[in-house]
Amino acid sequence: MKNKLSTGGLVYSTEAGRMCPACRRPVGQCVCKQTAAAPSGDGVVRVSRETKGRGGKAVTLVKGVALAGPELAELGKRLKAACGSGGTVKDGVIEIQGDHVDKVLAALQAQGHTVKRAGG
């Protein structure tokens, strides 16, 4: 019986470390994320606060930023520094730990983005 869970690709190399499953290059040299186009939308950045699935802890979400890969990560880094808290960038969404909606709105407006508060 064949193993159905086999991906059939190189996942780790002792020479280069982790490998990208899509382009099969070392993660540091991956071209997949660089070629991904900026997300298209209505041009409005939406900032919201969410607690679902996080044990009651608040997280500020920034969605709809029309930046790709490294630029989005740099914006996330600046917003985290402005709020004095941690966070991450996942699937085009910037997550900042804590309830920092007002600080994020002000920071994004200062950078020239069209910003809306989303949710309640």
pLDDT tens per residue, range 12-26: 656 667 777 777 777
| DSSP helix, strand, coil percent of the chain (3-state; round to 5) | 25, 25, 50
Pick the CATH number of 39-117 from 3.30.780.10, 3.60.70.12, 3.40.50.1820, 3.40.1190.20: 3.30.780.10
The whole-angstrom separation of Cα 78 and Cα 97 is 14
Whole-model pTM: value is: 0.65
| Ranges of H-type helices in 1-120 | 32-35, 69-83, 101-110
For 73-115, how does the pLDDT look when each residue is reduced to its tens digit (9 = 90+)? 999 999 999 999 999 998 888 999 999 999 999 999 998 888 8
Supply the pLDDT for residue 18: 75
Supply the pLDDT for residue 101: 92
Q: What percent of the chain has pLDDT over 70?
A: 78
